[in-house]
Amino acid sequence: MEKEFTLLVNTENNIGLLNHLSIVFTRRKLNIESLTVSESKIKGIYSFTIVIKTRRDVIDRVAKQLENIIGVIKVFVYENDEIIHQELAMYKLPISAIEKGLQIESVVRTHNARVLNIENDYILIEKTGHKADTQKLMEELKPYGILQFIRTGRVAMAKPMKDLEIHIREKNAAYEILED
């Protein structure tokens, strides 16, 4: 059965790594639902958050293959109930939306959104939440004529999060260095 999985891929900052990661997915015809990269708390170590819909056995194999890429340190596979995740969305509306009856204050209150910017000709609203939540706000704003909508990929944290440094230490301990 297909499910949504979130991969946390911790890597070195190597050129071409993203390309390498994506080859592993494309080889299996897996569509990347969302992808976000940022530096982790450890300098020089990056975390990719990748959302994939597939079967458990497939994602487990993919995770192992990702770990074989030189520069990948540790890959975690999570199902949705194992993580807290967020996405950020931005909505641009024409100022005329207010004339059409857009109640900015109520939108902000009921959706936990916020106004980032109001100019002469447009309003910028921001909301973080699950995809379903940001989507819901979009549906609500649609009648007022959205000029632009953009949403980031998912960022996620595992619920009982073990320190990444401990994970890395454990991984290193499972391997040895051989001088020939």
Q: Which residues bind other proteins (CB under 8 A)?
A: 11-12, 14, 16, 19-20, 23, 27, 60-61, 64-65, 67-68, 70-73, 171, 173-180
Minimum separation from the CB atom of position 44 to other proteins (A): 9
* Separation of alpha carbons 14 and 37, rounded Å: 13
Minimum separation from the CB atom of position 71 to other proteins (A): 4
Contact 9, 66 (CB under 8 A): yes
* Separation of alpha carbons 92 and 20, rounded Å: 35
68 vs 96, which CB is nearer to other proteins? 68
35 vs 113, which CB is nearer to other proteins? 35
Minimum separation from the CB atom of position 112 to other proteins (A): 39
DSSP bridge pairs for 26: none
CA neighbor of 1 nearest in space, from 61, 56, 59: 56
Other Cβ atoms closer than 10 A to 69: 17
61 vs 151, which CB is nearer to other proteins? 61
Contact 90, 103 (CB under 8 A): no
* Separation of alpha carbons 137 and 129, rounded Å: 10
Minimum separation from the CB atom of position 76 to other proteins (A): 15
10 vs 134, which CB is nearer to other proteins? 10
Minimum separation from the CB atom of position 45 to other proteins (A): 9
How do beta strands 114-118 and 83-94 pair? unpaired
20 vs 131, which CB is nearer to other proteins? 20
